[in-house]
A = this chain, B = another copy of it.
Amino acid sequence: MLGGATADWQSKRRESARREILSAAWDVARENGLAALTLREVAARVGMRAPSLYSHFSSKNAIYDAMFGQAWRSYEEMTAGAVLPAQPRAALRAMAKRFFEFAVADLPRNQLMNQRTIPGFTPSPESYAPAVRVIERLRSDMTRMGIADDGDVDLFIALVGGLADAQWANDPGGTRYARLLDRAVDMYADALHLPQVDDDQEET
């Protein structure tokens, strides 16, 4: 009994230490750039020396990997609780806004989730799993609103992701591409003949 409680307490400590390290890693990545992350800098922020990090992560890439998993899990949690509007167009708008704002809120996070910025880093299957679940969830949500074609789903993701990436590349911190989001979604919805209002009026 006592042994079990101790083990539990220890694993909780370990978990919280890992979280602290990752939080510091995010800070460093935001300040110096994702590729400029160094173990010394991360360690310093949590009051440690670089070698101590190896008690919690087996390598630098393991830190990137954990960050990757954290990013997608946090997006997954954000979408898990949310309810989508019943009307397909409104639902698409909400989904697009959610994804766009998440991508635009944090550059290194977006680079990690949606680009291949770090040479030699590939996410592990465990860290990739939440990303897969998010896409599956998106796919089923869109199926429910009548969008079943895989290509149409891919196009939606590319459309919203493209706006987010363009926002970062050409107008970081601005709203030049954010303003186009609803226009883009409507364009997409029109092309798929989604009903304008609640009624199910099909075009001929």
Contact = CB atoms under 8 A, between A and B. Distances in A.
Nearest to A160: B162
Interface in A92-130: 107, 111, 114-120
Interface stretch (A3-11, A55-63, A79-87, A164-172): A164-172
B165 A115 contact: yes
A141 to B, nearest CB: 19
Contacts of A33: 118-120
Copies in the assembly, this chain: 2
Interface stretch (A12-20, A40-48, A183-191): A183-191
Interface of A: 32-36, 107, 111, 114-120, 151, 154-155, 157-163, 165-166, 168-169, 172, 176-177, 179-180, 183-184, 186-188, 190-191
A157 B154 CA distance: 17
Contacts of A151: 179-180, 183
